[in-house]
Chain A
Amino acid sequence: MKIGVFVCHCGSNIAGTVDVAKVAEAAKAMPDVAFASDTMYACSEPGQEGIIKAIQEKGLDGAVVASCTPRMHGPTFMRTVARAGLNPYMFEMANIREHVSWIGRNKEANTRKAIDLVKMAVAKLGQNRPLYPKTFAVNKRVLVIGGGVAGIQAALDCAEGGLDVVLVEKTSSIGGKMAKLDKTFPTVDCSSCILGPKMVDVAQHPRITLHASSEVEDVFGYVGNFQVEVRKKAPYVDWKACTGCGACMEKCPAKKSPDPFNELVGRTTAINIPFPQAIPKKASIDPTACIRFKTGKCGVCAKICPTKAIRYDQQDEMVTEEVGAIVAATGYDLMDWTVYGQYGAGRYPDVVTSLQYERMLSASGPTGGHIKRPSDGREPKNVVFIQCVGSRDPSVGRPYCTGFCCMYTAKQAVLTKDHIPDSQSYVFYMDIRAPGKMYDEFTRRAVEEYGTQYVRGRVSMVYPMGDKLVVRGADTLAGTQVEVLADLVVLAVGAEGAKGSPHLAEKLRISYDSYGFFMEGHPKLKPVETNTAGVYLAGCSQGPKDIPTSVAQGSAAAAKVLGLFSKDQLQSDPQVAKVDLKRCVGCMKCALTCPFGAIKELETRGEMKVEVIETVCQGCGICTSTCRQGAIQLQNFTDNQILAEVNALLLTAEEEGA
């Protein structure tokens, strides 16, 4: 075999602490190496051309590139090798940047280690065999999880692109947080007026199937061919029959039931349609509040319903959806701010969250758009906004900036003045983060035109004094302590990943961070992809962001799906497990350990053996370490290949030691 070795400088990234020329020189002496050189940027166009030229001119059978991590450029160089006419798996990478130059400063030791890594790669490549991908058909339907504005945008764009879309929403209506907002910054236009039509489009689009009050229970399969189990939670109303007339709501006697849509500011009926523009506009019963469910008495709604739609004995329903791609757009939730004992930890009724305040501002909200103190219904005059409650605060485990609170606080201060002209708003802030288009201008307007008093400093304590609240904090610009007597305090509570998102992430086999946000494939270059092929992200499920950015990401996810589905056939990764039927004794140990269920029984000539479903296998290799017979091998990571690497390393050590 004739092998070529290409040692990359990566500018000074590698060459700064590794003697690359020496590594290339050492490579020339390795078995099977027919060519070795060092190159400034192996990944650049001249770099790749150099590799191709060497392969063709020297008639090489394979190439080793010693450079950065294979995560960064593995696929790049596989394409290079393929362009030179070789099988792309006749290629190995030695990571001499992350594993060498970036972690040590001793040039001599680094150079030795780099040579060792190259030696191992060369030894492995000597055992490589060409591998060929299989092709399989794509199911061109897409599942969108979460019906907030990001999910709505993704669903509509996919549907407009000609795809069939399944939209699964946890609550009884789509719209997400945006449906709860009164106005939106920086234009202060009505939130439901711009979202409403999009919601209607979803309802009316012939290509969109909407499952509201539903959750993803399980996900099987792989890119192009997912099977998704969806649990449709019983609304105790036959939604096919319900016309959304609302007669039941008028008569339901359980009028003091918790109202999650209004963030528990107001109360609602046990049977309800969450808000007038809800999509689907269907009633559902909250069994924890319903008198009939609790005591067996009542049943008023069943009597009143003109279409006889009420079904107290309805059960959850499971449906299986087959799709080729999934967009996760589950959004965010406000963190549990009651960890802030100094702000009352939920004990003071006149300390509310930003989202509660948004409902109080909304004309369709529980107070009809009048700002009223929850404690006594009076109109507040002094309103204090406290920013960064659960953002940028490592002491409560929330070190990150939520990003949109500065802006919505300015918006709410402006709206407060609009609603109550003789009111005065105060904003305690750390610093103002307003980097969007027209954003800084907007926060300035809040100060200059609406007279909002901005105080730079954290609030140390809020406590009631008579019927007012004392807000005590620091003014770090004036260098003094300040106290403001407030009628109402609004906490700009930070965002975290939606409740239950880690569970969903595990079902989707994607990563999530410690705050419940899903992890993108690459922080810069793969912002909507995940590390699982065919699963994409949109909106706040990936991290807090405002509406424009959520919408943009929704469209980006749709574009990715359309791109994926532009091919009729996809190629599977051939780096999967393979069974040597002669060695397999059919003990099934591998099948028990496979986390993806990719191994199934196979009967050949009356004997039990196993078989790998190539499209399901993720190439994790757990099975290969389980099999005592050595019968199941991971392609491109066979025992022989790994042993060759180990031998290359240890035999050298022995020689040197001798």
Chain B
Amino acid sequence: MTGKIRYAYYPGCSGQGTSVEYDTSTRAVCAALDIELVDIPDWNCCGSSPAHTVDHHLSAALSCRNLAQAAQVEGARGVITPCPSCLSNLKTSARRMADPDFAARVNKLLDKPLRHIPPVKSVLQALFEDVGPDALYPRVFKRLEGLKLAPYYGCIMNRPPQIMEFDDHEHPVAMDRLLEAVGATALPFPLKVECCGASYGVARQDIVERLSGRLLDAAAACGADAFVTACPLCQMNLDLRQDQINAANKTGHRIPVFYYTQLLGLALGLDPKALGLDKLAVSPRDVLAAVGVRA
């Protein structure tokens, strides 16, 4: 890694609310690794969950406005976002704009037509490809030796593969490799890309309880101390609802659910406050204490 890398950063709505700790830890880790994040000026909703279910053109217009705004960030390698759902919509919209008819309809909805589509990546992809596990290794301040983790990518970080174009869609490893580089053990968690059911959270709680219950059982069966996620929705679902899931399935799991950026931050010796560990519902204190990290 040489010199500073600059990206236009798309924090997404969840980063402002339900997952501020993902946002702050992402910013802290990127800063520590010389990745400069410049917030997309005047960004708007990406159109992912509500808009794309109603109207693809509207949804793409929302994404494309963000992409056009991102063009104002000078010297940026592209756009990155921590949230897989935002990522999915940004990438899908960008892909659809290749169809001239589609593009014409979307451009009609925009003030200025989108001319240049910048590359879009997840923060995970940027960290993996621009920094990489090898470069991470020498920067580690506190090795997370002994921490056994179930890396959980969720169902949309790598899928559909033709659009996400990163890592393996059935067996992704990028997060595993980064966590191993900072000394933790990435267990061979078999349900890495299974759906946790989060999008049914309101409508069909039973589905969440079944799907997320299976994830918790599998992580426990693997002997995991904690989950690691890269998705605000998965994190919230597994963490905040863990008691609810336990009650429904008559289980007693107490598995902390980290964002991978929080753990990388700890290993890099960043201020735990910036990493927002206090925001986790299932307290990670004991798990971290066991590997000698005070948080």
Question: B-facing mask of A624-650, CB < 8 A → 1, else 0?
Answer: 000000000000000000000000000
A465 touches B170 (CB 8 A): no
Most buried by B among A342, A347, A463: A463
Given A463-B190, A463-B191 in contact, is the A341-B218 Cβ separation under 8 Å? no
Contact B170 A345 (CB under 8 A): yes
Q: How far is the CA of A461 from the CA of B194 in the complex (A)?
A: 10
Q: Once the chains are docked, how many angstroms separate the CA of A345 from the CA of B188?
A: 13
State how many angstroms separate the Cβ of A471 from the closest Cβ of chain B. Answer: 12
Known A465-B221, A466-B221; contact A341-B170, beta-carbon cutoff 8 A: yes
Residues on A with beta carbons closer than 8 Å to the beta carbon of B218: 463, 465
Point out the residues of chain A lying under 8 angstroms from B171, CB to CB.
341, 345, 347
Alpha-carbon separation in the docked complex, A75 to B211 (Å): 67
Q: Which residues of B contact A461 (CB under 8 A)?
A: 194
Q: Are A341 and B191 CB-contacts (below 8 A) given A465-B218, A465-B221?
A: no
Across the interface, which residues of A come within 8 angstroms of B188, CB to CB? Answer: 347
Contacts of A345 in B (CB 8 A): 170-171
Minimal Cβ-Cβ distance residue in A for B194: A461
Q: How far is the CB of B223 from chain A (nearest CB, A)?
A: 11
By a CB distance below 8 angstroms, the chain A residues around B168 are 341
B142-177 contacts to A (CB < 8 Å)? 168-171
In this assembly, does A464 line the interface, its C-beta being within 8 Å of a C-beta of chain B? yes
Shortest distance in angstroms between B156's beta carbon and chain A's nearest beta carbon?
16
Which of chain B's residues have a CB closer than 8 A to the CB of A347? 171, 188
- Among B170, B171, B191, find the residue whose CB has the most chain A CB atoms closer than 10 A: B170
Instruction: Determine the residue in chain A with the shortest Cβ distance to B190.
Output: A463
Which A447-467 residues sit within 8 Å CB-CB of chain B? 461, 463-466
Q: Which of A341, A463, A466 contacts B169 (CB 8 A)?
A: A341
Q: Are B169 and A465 in contact (CB under 8 A)?
A: no
In angstroms, Cα B194 to Cα A465, docked, is: 14
Q: Which applies to chain B's interface (DSSP): helix, strand, loop or mixed?
A: loop
Closest A residue to B171 using CB positions: A341
| Whole-angstrom distance between the Cβ of A478 and the nearest chain B Cβ | 18
Smallest CB separation, B261 vs chain A (Å): 26
- Residues from chain B with a CB closer than 8 A to the CB of A466 are 221
**With the chains together, A341 CA to B168 CA distance in Å?**
8
- Complex Cα distance A347/B192, Å? 14
Q: What is the CB-to-nearest-CB distance from B151 to chain A, in angstroms, rounded to a whole number? A: 14
Query: Closest Cβ of chain A: how far from B253's Cβ, in Å?
Result: 15
- CA–CA, A461 and B193, complex, Å: 11
- Which of chain B's residues has its CB closest to A343's CB? B170
In chain A, positions 462-478 with a C-beta closer than 8 Å to chain B are: 463-466
In the complex, which residues 191-219 of chain B have their Cβ closer than 8 Å to any Cβ of chain A?
Answer: 191, 194, 217-218
Give the distance to chain B from A200, nearest Cβ to Cβ, in Å: 47
Q: Mark A309-345, 1 if CB is under 8 A from B, else 0.
A: 0000000000000000000000000000000111001
A464 & B190 in contact (Cβ 8 Å cutoff): yes
Q: Do A342 and B170 touch (CB < 8 A)?
A: yes
A234 to chain B, nearest CB (A): 40
- In the complex the two chains form, what is the Cα distance from A619 to B221 in whole Å? 69
Q: How far is the CB of A395 from the nearest CB of chain B, in Å?
A: 10
* Interface positions of B from 47 to 75, Cβ below 8 Å from A: none
The proximity string for B residues 208-247 relative to A, scoring 1 for CB distances below 8 Å and 0 otherwise, is 0000000001100100000000000000000000000000
With both chains docked as a complex, state the minimum distance between the C-beta of B183 and any C-beta of chain A, in angstroms: 23
CB distance from A519 to the nearest CB of B (A): 31
Interface string of A31-58 (1 = CB under 8 A from B): 0000000000000000000000000000
Roughly how many angstroms separate A347 CA and B190 CA in the complex, as a whole number?
Answer: 10
CA distance A345 to B194 in the complex (A): 16
Smallest CB–CB gap between A474 and chain B, Å? 15
* Chain B residue at minimum C-beta to C-beta distance from A470: B190
Q: Which A residues are CB-close (under 8 A) to B217?
A: 465
CB 8 Å contact bits of A138-160 with B (1 = contact, 0 = none): 00000000000000000000000
For the complex, what is the distance from the CA of A342 to the CA of B244, rounded to whole Å? 29
The residues of A that contact B191 with a CB separation of less than 8 Å are 463
Name the distance in Å between A29's Cβ and chain B's nearest Cβ. 51
Give the complex CA separation of A143 and B210 in angstroms.
Answer: 63
Residues of chain A with a CB closer than 8 A to B169's CB: 341
Could you tell me the distance between the alpha carbons of A574 and B170 in the complex, rounded to whole angstroms?
59
How far does the Cβ of A494 sit from chain B's closest Cβ, in whole Å? Answer: 19
Q: State the CA gap A345–B170 with chains docked (Å).
A: 9
A461 CA to B214 CA, complexed, in Å = 14
Which residues of chain A are near B194, meaning CB under 8 Å? Answer: 461
Q: Could you tell me the distance between the alpha carbons of A340 and B171 in the complex, rounded to whole angstroms?
A: 10
CA–CA, A112 to B148, complex, Å?
79
A338 to chain B, nearest CB (A): 11
C-alpha gap A449/B59 in the complex (Å): 57
Bound form: Cα–Cα A191–B218 in Å: 42
Closest CB of chain B to A220's CB: distance in Å? 46
Measured CA separation A465–B221 after assembly (Å):
7
Interface flags for B237-277 (1: CB within 8 Å of A; 0: not) read 00000000000000000000000000000000000000000
Complex Cα distance, B173 from A345, in Å, reads 14
Complex CA–CA separation, A151 to B172 (angstroms): 44
Residue on B nearest A340 in the bound complex, by CB:
B170
In the bound complex, what is the Cα–Cα distance between A465 and B222 (angstroms)? 8
0/1 string, B26-44, CB within 8 A of A gives 1:
0000000000000000000
Q: Chain B residues near A463 (CB, 8 Å)?
A: 190-191, 218
Report A394 CB to chain B, min CB distance, Å.
Answer: 14
Chain B residues lying within 8 Å of A465, measured Cβ to Cβ, are: 190, 217-218, 221
A344 CB, min distance to chain B CBs, angstroms: 8
* Distance between Cα atoms of A12 and B243 in the complex (Å): 75
Chain A residues with Cβ below 8 Å from B221 are 465-466
Q: Which of B104-123 contact A (CB under 8 A)?
A: none
CB distance from A306 to the nearest CB of B (A): 49
Query: A463 vs B190: C-alpha distance in the bound complex, in angstroms?
Result: 6
Pick the most buried of B169, B190, B221: most chain A CB atoms within 10 A of its CB: B190
Closest B residue by C-beta to A341: B170
Bound Cα distance from A202 to B217, whole angstroms: 58
Residues from chain A with a CB closer than 8 A to the CB of B190 are 463-465
Question: CA separation between A115 and B187, bound complex, in Å?
Answer: 75
**CB-CB < 8 A to A341: which residues of B?**
168-171
- Bound-state CA distance A342–B193 (Å) is 10
| Cβ-closest chain A residue relative to B188 | A347
A188 to B66, CA, bound (A): 66
- The chain B residue sitting closest to A469, CB to CB, is B190
Smallest Cβ-Cβ distance to B168: which chain A residue: A341
Could you tell me the distance in whole angstroms from the C-beta of B74 to the nearest C-beta in chain A? 40
The residue on A at minimum CB distance from B172 is: A341
**Alpha-carbon gap, A464 to B191, bound state (A):** 9
B10 to chain A, nearest CB (A): 29
* Chain A proximity of B30: nearest CB distance (Å): 30
A466 CA / B188 CA spacing, docked (Å) = 12
Bound-state CA distance A347–B171 (Å) is 10
In this complex, what residue of A is CB-closest to B192? A463
Provide the bound-state CA to CA distance between A464 and B217, in Å. Answer: 12
Tell me the minimal C-beta distance from A483 to chain B in angstroms: 10
Q: Which residues of chain B have C-beta atoms less than 8 A from A464's C-beta?
A: 190
Residue of A nearest to B161 (CB): A341
Could you show 20 A-B contacts with beta carbons less than 8 Å apart? Answer: A340-B170, A341-B168, A341-B169, A341-B170, A341-B171, A342-B170, A345-B170, A345-B171, A347-B171, A347-B188, A461-B194, A463-B190, A463-B191, A463-B218, A464-B190, A465-B190, A465-B217, A465-B218, A465-B221, A466-B221
Closest 8 A/B residue pairs (Cβ)? A341-B170, A463-B190, A341-B171, A342-B170, A464-B190, A466-B221, A465-B221, A341-B168
Q: A342-B170, A463-B191 are in contact. List 14 more A-B contacts (CB 8 A).
A: A340-B170, A341-B168, A341-B170, A341-B171, A345-B170, A347-B171, A461-B194, A463-B190, A463-B218, A464-B190, A465-B190, A465-B217, A465-B218, A466-B221
